[in-house]
Structure formats: C-alpha cells, structure tokens
Amino acid sequence: MEAGMQAAIEEARQGLAEGGVPIGSALVYGERIIGRGHNRRRQRGSVVLHGEMDALENAGRQPASVYRHSVLYTTLSPCPMCSGAILLYGIPRVVIGENRTFLGEEALLRERGVAVEVLDLDECVELMRRFIADSPEVWNEDIGE
Amino acid sequence: MEAGMQAAIEEARQGLAEGGVPIGSALVYGERIIGRGHNRRRQRGSVVLHGEMDALENAGRQPASVYRHSVLYTTLSPCPMCSGAILLYGIPRVVIGENRTFLGEEALLRERGVAVEVLDLDECVELMRRFIADSPEVWNEDIGE
C-alpha cells in the first residue's frame, strides 16, 4: 500500500482510539508526507476539522505550486467541504480508501479535472462500521444529517 | 443593514486591523448570531479558517436542524471550500457582501438549491482593495493561486 494511505489509516485508527470519528488523511508532496490528520469533531468540538481538513491544516501554509503537485489520501470519500478544499487548492489527485459508507463529491471532483481513485479497502469500511454502530448520532452530525 | 452583515463587516475590519485577510462572516439562527469569525491565515497560519469557516467553527457543534434554519453572511463570495461547507451543513441561504473582487461558487450553490443574495457593498470591496494592494501574495495564497 502507498505510504500516504498507510498514514491515513493510522490517523483514522488514532481517531477511533480517541473516541472520535475514524477518518484519517495525509497530504503527500513528491515522496514526502507534508501533512497528516484525522477528524476532530469529538476531540476538539470542531465542525471544520474533518480528516482531510486536519491534514491540510497540519501541512501549514504552502504555495500553490506545492498543492498542485500533491496527492491527498483519505480513508473515506470526501464530503462537499473537503472536496471544496481540494478544488480551492488545486490538488490534482485524490486517493480514497472507501466510498461504501459515504459517497462524497467524487463526481464534482472528476468534472473539475481531479483524478479520483477509490481503493475500496475493507479495513476502512470496518473502522466506520464499528464507529457508526457505537455513535450513530455523532456520525450523522458530522455529515450534516 | 441586517445585523448578520453588520457583524460580518465588523469581523472583516478586525481581520484587517490584525494584518489579516479582511473577510468576515456570521452565522445567524433565527434572530440570533450564533457564530462569527474572520480569516485567520496570517494570524494563526491557518489554511482552513476562511471567514466563513471560522464563523462555523465558532458556532460550535450544532444539530442539522439549526444549520437548516440559518443564514450565513459573508463579506466576500464564498470560495469552493466555504461553499462546500455550506452544502455539507445544508445552510439554505447565503448573503454576500460583494463578488467583484472574487467570484466563488455561487452558481454551484444555486444549482444545489441554496438561496444566494449579493448585496454589492462598496465597503466590502474597499476592504479587499486595500488589503490586496498591500499584500497581494497573501491574497493569492488564500485563494490557491
């Protein structure tokens, strides 16, 4: 497995261990992970730090040239907010762990020229299954339902 | 002027006074401002806290029923990330100070059923004009260019 997805899954597992929504992400520039993170809704009461957003935030301020040569790895199909961040920063490629639990804005991303790859990993599905069984209300809140 | 836009402009002015990108926002539920904020790129090195995102974050965790009866006020047309957040949380109405400086994803928002109103306020244009003249590189970074 690519190092970016490995890091994203580690982040998701860490989120689960903290009692949080187990979605993780990593931003990879060239061969280097420049940001990694996971959903912080429960841990910090954050409504904007989804896994992808946390990875972007932890990467810090970057010039457009870095984003435009980066890949964003995420364990779950990106929601409208995270997809919008991908479009804002012109990230050209997104690798997704799974989209069975939740189908985000993959069609919009593709329509705008982003390369979207879905790995369909059972490991990512299982993390979400466990969390949603325990805390359906937190999951619904996280996706605005 | 509606209290929500007044608060958004106050936030933008505060951002400018801090040396930051002067974009402000307020989330209004019923008659009450439940979150207000401004862009934090320079102040906190944040790449996710645009004005709208900061207002959402400061409103804290809310049930879907609150977002679905709220209005988001913002001094500038919302970028893809902030528009995505509006779609994620199902905010039905967005009031925008101006879209001359930057035209965000207004078409996408309308297409998805969000009511979008543009007030075209000179005051908001002038705040951005001053900032961009002084710090064009920060502005370009903020919109991913």
- CATH superfamily for B3-143 is Cytidine Deaminase, domain 2 (3.40.140.10)
The full 3-state SS of chain B, as one line of letters, equals: CCHHHHHHHHHHHHHHHCCCCCCEEEEEECCEEEEEEECCHHHHCCCCCCHHHHHHHHHCCCCHHHHCCEEEEEEECCCHHHHHHHHHHCCCEEEEEECCCCCCCHHHHHHCCCEEEECCCHHHHHHHHHHHHHCHHHHHHHCCC
The pLDDT score that the predictor gives to residue A1 is 86
* Predicted ipTM beyond 0.90: yes
Stretch 15-74 of chain B: residues touching chain A, C-beta under 8 Å = 41, 45-49, 53, 56-57, 59-64, 67
Indicate if the pLDDT at residue A101 is higher than 90: yes
- For residue A41, which residues of chain B lie inside 8 Å, CB to CB? 61
From B11, B52, B98, B105, the catalytic residue? B52
Beta bridge partners of A95: A73, A117
pTM check: above 0.95? yes
In the annotation, is B10 catalytic? no
For β-strands A93-98 and A70-76, DSSP reports them as parallel
Residue in chain A nearest B42 by alpha carbon: A61
pLDDT tens for residues B36-73? 999 999 999 999 999 999 999 999 999 999 999 999 99
Query: Where do the domains of chain B lie?
Result: 3-143
- Give the pLDDT band of residue B126 (cuts 50, 70, 90): very high
The pLDDT score that the predictor gives to residue B1 is 86
The pLDDT score that the predictor gives to residue A81 is 98
Taking an 8 Å cut-off on Cβ atoms, the answer to whether A143 and B88 are in contact is: yes
pLDDT tens for residues A20-35? 999 999 999 999 999 9
How far apart are the C-alpha atoms of A63 and A67, rounded to whole Å?
7
Taking an 8 Å cut-off on Cβ atoms, the answer to whether B80 and A79 are in contact is: no
Residue in chain A nearest B59 by alpha carbon: A47
Taking an 8 Å cut-off on Cβ atoms, the answer to whether A47 and B64 are in contact is: no
